[in-house]
Structure 1
């Protein structure tokens, strides 16, 4: 007898894209309703983007911390229920747009409410909630203390584009006496940021438990790199390739590719992998341990960077002048497997990790993914540009894959279809065996193709499940403004959407009933 590996499917949607009254999606009622919708549609996976805070351009991939949750995801209604916000507080809610996040107004509104809640929480008499808060702070202290102080100092000395390297030198370089004095001086502000993190993790734990109770697993997202202006770099400068002033000597990105003729200059500081190896990849192990508290499966963004990464001089304006440098290879995953076996290894002995192996993929990258035992990603939007050997065409998949119509970096499928030239549309028609040129119909044909593939996991962006056009795109790489703002309206989601997904899930054996047996026939 051999143990069967289930075929599953789900939806890609970041919580900020949920509907709700306070300007952006969060961890409240709409998130619970979305889980109910997933369950009604027979879906067993919910993939999110990084749950950490947003940085420049409102991107969740440039967070001020690789460990902290996003304060903007905290549900305000739950703070009202706890007695820390009043009806009058929430009555001040502006008339936010329904289908996009206006961060310029959402951020100050939500942060004002969080400060009010924190003030009332700390002013109240001691209660079980205060004991829970203290326990959280003690448990998370290894990263929380640095994060809360970093955010407090950023308010005191940041602003106007100033980075942590521009703070007073004693604090920028973390001289112990200066750090201790700052902790005392900014104790109230430090406690505020700790309170926010407690609220986030408490709310997320409840939401994840609800998802799991509905037989829905969470796929999280772990960016390979971190932001320069982050608690991670400030607190661990020796782990990054920095000059004597704390500025990156070289930065991350990718060479010219499908998305950009000049490549992408992300600007993240690069790791000193020798320093990570010297400490047994402790920082990576702890980062993965923290991420596993939030999700059931982890997608590691830019997996190919572990084999080799594109190093760009910090002075370069584009990514063209970069060069490949060797990454840590399998060693970092061996450390994770060794230290996190109870949480990170599934019942089949595999790491609960998906490798985002897009971009320029060499045989060495494929070998690393194979040696580590991770499924790679297959994107249908990339499948029709050449001939039948294209690795993104379903007949070339192996079962240890995750198929997507598109990702958060792609156009929606309807938008992608409309952007194709007639001869490219003809290739799609030939492969699908259909001749419709209606974008919504083609979107659902592509969804069906993804479900029918041998790929063990199938993920559909919410925009495609609703057959939405390009105006609903989540992100456009290398474009500085307008991304990460998309939200859907409740009225856009109809019962037939879930019914149609449920039908495809049953037909192609991705439902719970098809995966009920733990054993396959003897071979």
Structure 2
């Protein structure tokens, strides 16, 4: 699906300088939307918004459908009358990186308190209209919300243990045990549902605010789901699991130049034959939910929809894996039939075969180009602007890369630096803004810049180091850095590269 010529910024919600120690959907999000509008940036890309598990990675989520409760703004809840302002006083401030355990320890009880207040006082005049919306929300999202509430409540009951280690009646979803749970823990389950409703209320409001300013969201859907998730617990029949509920095989990528043993991600493998026989119903529901949250959807690890690296679950490395074909074309055809034109961006990085390109081209999906990848040798030049197709998306770097300044100062080889100098002539300016201009002036329909790059921040602002188990996803944008002069610089670049939307009277 080709997109209008435009540009935007990549900034995950957690990286906003919000009150409370973590970015959220409160005032800082609206301030960032105003900055985007002033800079004539029409796209805001975020990482998956799902609740996170071990390691705090948004790509290892506890649910493919739910929202992350920690993204809910307590300030907004206080404005709604769900919780007194005095109860949220004294939380961590707007500055500094995220300390997830501390944030969870303080924020989660306050979210539960606010949800409980809403349950007990929803008949009051200020809350009655929200209660009507809550009842509608529960009906509309019943296919995933009820089971997520059970999963989340049980996970807390058993001190964060994975669902496969719960007592047998819960791990195997005994109907009698689940019925008793409904009767005995009704309020706890309702609180989980209310928290999800609060997330959706705040997200919808922010999305509407952005739409009024011609800003659209790019979301992110990971191809695989976490083993310890509501999805696998609820839908065991669509994953390759043994009788004891352990995975038969898991996902990853094979050995390559970067790793002699490959990468063992550990996500369970889909039973694609079962999914296809059912019309890919779970995937249709998943993408329908994603499309209700985002305007465009980046499909992570797109090549896995053509063939995926399948590893014996008992292996500690990815060495003994094998490529297994996936029914990607059949899946996308069904999604198109069920949901209409597909607003997908294909994350087609890494070893891409002709078969992968054929699926992407069949459905007219734009691929990704990363400028940092383009300067190592002639084979890397597909990532440089003179090789781009119009229907593509260019980034200076992504959440998995070092910042452009960090790469230039610490990661780029002398040969790469010489190639950059020849290509964009950095002069005394450094490499960051010359590469931003190279992306913006390219033929690619969409160009996206991490906020760290427009601020010219170094490696200290890196979001993620793949395969590093700890200390990722913690970066927050320093407060007060997104100033008017920077917005003007972005706006001028958007104007001269024809990426801003013209008034209707000026459009051809």
Same fold by TM-score, threshold 0.5 exceeded?
A: yes
- Correspondence for 2:218: 219
Deviations 1:149-173 (A, max 9, x none): 01111112243xx311111212211
CA drift at 1:6: 2.4
Partner Cα separation in structure 2 for residue 421 and residue 331 of structure 1: 43
CA drift at 1:488: 0.9
The alignment status of 1:231 with 2:230, answered yes or no, reads: yes
Partner Cα separation in structure 2 for residue 101 and residue 193 of structure 1: 24
- Correspondence for 1:465: 454
The alignment status of 1:124 with 2:121, answered yes or no, reads: yes
Partner Cα separation in structure 1 for residue 276 and residue 505 of structure 2: 42
SS at match of 1:293: helix
Deviations 1:158-213 (A, max 9, x none): 43xx3111112122111211211122222121111101000000110000011110
Partner Cα separation in structure 1 for residue 366 and residue 297 of structure 2: 11
Partner Cα separation in structure 2 for residue 325 and residue 401 of structure 1: 27
- Correspondence for 2:313: 314
Alignment of 1:194-343 (within 5 A): 194-257=193-256, 260-341=259-340
Where has structure 1 moved over 6 Å in runs of 4 or more?
A: 514-518
The alignment status of 1:496 with 2:485, answered yes or no, reads: yes
Alignment of 1:89-488 (within 5 A): 89-93=87-91, 95-96=92-93, 98-126=95-123, 127-159=128-160, 162-257=161-256, 260-341=259-340, 345=341, 351-387=342-378, 390-418=381-409, 419-436=411-428, 441-488=430-477
Give RMSD over aligned pairs: 1.8
Q: How many residues align?
A: 503
Partner Cα separation in structure 2 for residue 155 and residue 4 of structure 1: 44
SS at match of 1:189: helix
Deviations 1:9-64 (A, max 9, x none): 00000011001221101001110110110010010000000011112110011111
Which 5+ residue runs of structure 2 have no aligned equivalent? none
Contact 1:62 1:227 in 2 (8 A): yes
Q: 1:434 to 1:129 in 2, by over 3 A?
A: closer
Partner Cα separation in structure 1 for residue 93 and residue 495 of structure 2: 39
SS at match of 1:484: coil
- Correspondence for 1:348: none
CA drift at 1:96: 4.9
Deviations 1:389-429 (A, max 9, x none): 62111111110100000000000000010122222211111
User: Which residue of 500, 503, 506 corresponds with 1:511?
Assistant: 500
Contact 2:2 2:391 in 1 (8 A): no
Q: 1:61 to 1:142 in 2, by over 3 A?
A: same
Partner Cα separation in structure 1 for residue 470 and residue 94 of structure 2: 17
Alignment of 1:4-43 (within 5 A): 6-43=4-41
Partner Cα separation in structure 2 for residue 460 and residue 260 of structure 1: 28
- Tell me which moved more, 404-413 or 149-158: 149-158
Contact 1:506 1:514 in 2 (8 A): no
SS at match of 1:477: coil
SS at match of 2:480: helix
SS at match of 1:330: helix
CA drift at 1:128: 2.4
Partner Cα separation in structure 2 for residue 274 and residue 245 of structure 1: 21
CA drift at 1:497: 1.3
Contact 1:158 1:164 in 2 (8 A): no
Contact 1:298 1:352 in 2 (8 A): yes
Q: 1:193 to 1:325 in 2, by over 3 A?
A: same
Q: 1:64 to 1:261 in 2, by over 3 A?
A: same
Partner Cα separation in structure 2 for residue 192 and residue 261 of structure 1: 47
Contact 1:389 1:396 in 2 (8 A): no
SS at match of 1:492: coil
Partner Cα separation in structure 2 for residue 518 and residue 143 of structure 1: 43
Partner Cα separation in structure 1 for residue 3 and residue 83 of structure 2: 47
Q: TM-score, normalised to structure 2's length?
A: 0.96
SS at match of 2:333: helix
SS at match of 1:253: strand
Partner Cα separation in structure 1 for residue 186 and residue 90 of structure 2: 29
SS at match of 2:375: coil
Partner Cα separation in structure 2 for residue 302 and residue 274 of structure 1: 20
Q: TM-score, normalised to structure 1's length?
A: 0.93
Q: 1:456 to 1:125 in 2, by over 3 A?
A: closer
Partner Cα separation in structure 1 for residue 122 and residue 4 of structure 2: 50
Contact 2:305 2:328 in 1 (8 A): yes
